[in-house]
Amino acid sequence: MAITVVTNIRYASAVLASGRVKVKGFDVEFVPHPTPNVTAVFNDMVQKAAYDAVDIPFSNYIIARDLGRPLTAIPAFPTMFCPLLGPMVNRKSGIKSVDDLVGKRVGVSGFAFNPATWVRSIFLHHYDLPIERLIYVEGEPNSMSDVPFFRSKRFTVEKGANLMQMLRAGEIDAFFMSDGGVEPDDTIDRLFQDPMAEIKKYVDATGILPINSVVTIKQEVVDANPGLDGALTAAFEEAWQVYIDEAPADGKHMELPISPFKKFGLLPPPRGFKANRKAIRILIHSLYEQSIIRTLFEPEELFAITD
């Protein structure tokens, strides 16, 4: 019986799903996240370990391990991303800089949403933003709905509905989105007018590219298939190289032109555990610092293999 990996079919995952790169020694099928309700898949993996393997948001996986779920991960990262591309603002909110977010209502697709966790960490450590002084509005349902992770009283978190509609209506002032956000229009704009410049500052300061998603595997699948972890990691690394080699110069990555990513050294992304250990550690510490997890893991504790 084939081992099924549920993943967003883009970038390296699209190369794997096409069959052009094989997982050597194993019968592995790559199937797409169901749409539009991909959050239910993430939730089911965290709550019930419901699949063989899933490409899930990295913060979700770390929280799952903090809660003792029978999951492990491999250093295969289907999406490396630039969270500073995601923050969008309502043009009437008066938000022109990071400092202007203080006291504002900010939409997040779940408080523990991976991009939101990264953005809060970056804003705290690199922009000196007092992140407890924002009002966070969670979209519901989200990928961590009813997951019993710890929620600190330091943060004000309210429930919302369709966050993009709320942003356009001025019911929230900003929205920390995933990927590259959306195209600005008469109602909404990017927080950063030159987000790639801000990203370059962050990458130069830290030497990392933040991790968006990770291949998470049910522990019993790893135990029953010795060598799967290494073979699957190697297949993703090979597929990433194919994707980079074949990406057209005028193509897009994360809904934005691919050329700036290459220009700033963001593509190809760092591959493997050792190359990403610092980024892994930063997200662990961010989740701990924001009181979302109670265990300050070492990165090696969370991965089946560490190169």
Residue 14 clears pLDDT 90, i.e. is over it? yes
Give how far Cα 70 sits from Cα of 101, 217, 270, 274, 302, Å. 38, 9, 27, 24, 11
Most confident of 54-58, 82-86, 255-259: 54-58
> 83-206 domain in CATH 3.40.190.10?
yes
The pair of three-digit structure tokens given for residue 108, joined into one six-digit string: 């997040």
Query: 19-23 contacts: CB < 8 A, separation 24 or more?
Result: 20/239, 20/242, 21/235, 21/238, 21/239, 21/242, 22/235, 23/228, 23/231, 23/232, 23/235
Give how far Cα 225 sits from Cα of 22, 176, 214, 228, 231, Å. 16, 39, 19, 6, 11
Check the CA dihedral 207-283-51-37 and report its sign.
negative
Rounded to whole angstroms, how far apart are CA atoms 89 and 130?
A: 18
Residue type, 175: F
The pair of three-digit structure tokens given for residue 289, joined into one six-digit string: 């610092």
Q: How high is the pLDDT of residue 252?
A: 80
CB atoms within 10 A of CB 9: 16
Q: pLDDT per residue over 43-68, tens digit each?
A: 999 999 999 999 999 999 999 999 99
Q: How high is the pLDDT of residue 195?
A: 86
Q: How high is the pLDDT of residue 66?
A: 98
CATH number of 3-81+211-302: 3.40.190.10
- Cβ-contact 112, 63 below 8 angstroms: yes
Q: How high is the pLDDT of residue 306?
A: 85
Q: How high is the pLDDT of residue 181?
A: 83
> Please, where are the H alpha helices in 247-272?
258-263
Mean pLDDT of the chain, nearest integer? 93
- Domain boundaries defined on the chain: 3-81+211-302, 83-206
3-state DSSP call for residue 138? strand
Residue 23 clears pLDDT 90, i.e. is over it? yes
Q: How high is the pLDDT of residue 253?
A: 79
Check the CA dihedral 223-43-239-209 and report its sign.
negative
CB atoms within 10 A of CB 239: 25
Question: What's the residue count for the chain?
Answer: 307
Q: How high is the pLDDT of residue 250?
A: 83
* Cα pseudo-dihedral 174, 176, 177, 180, rounded to 10: 90
Residue 89 clears pLDDT 80, i.e. is over it? yes
- Cβ-contact 30, 16 below 8 angstroms: yes
Q: How high is the pLDDT of residue 198?
A: 92
Q: Which residues pair with 87 in a beta bridge?
A: 176
Q: pLDDT per residue over 131-169, tens digit each?
A: 999 999 999 999 999 999 999 999 999 999 899 999 999
Contacts of 61 (CB under 8 A, 6+ apart): 46, 71, 73, 214, 216, 302
The pair of three-digit structure tokens given for residue 90, joined into one six-digit string: 């309502």
- Cβ-contact 51, 169 below 8 angstroms: no
3-state DSSP call for residue 290? coil
Residue 34 gets which letter from DSSP? Answer: P
Q: Residue 251's pLDDT band (boundaries 50, 70, 90)?
A: confident
Q: pLDDT per residue over 171-208, tens digit each?
A: 999 999 987 788 899 999 999 999 888 988 998 999 99
The pair of three-digit structure tokens given for residue 221, joined into one six-digit string: 């699948």
Same fold for the pair 3-81+211-302 and 83-206: yes
Please report where in the chains the tokens 């309502």 appear, as a residue.
Answer: 90
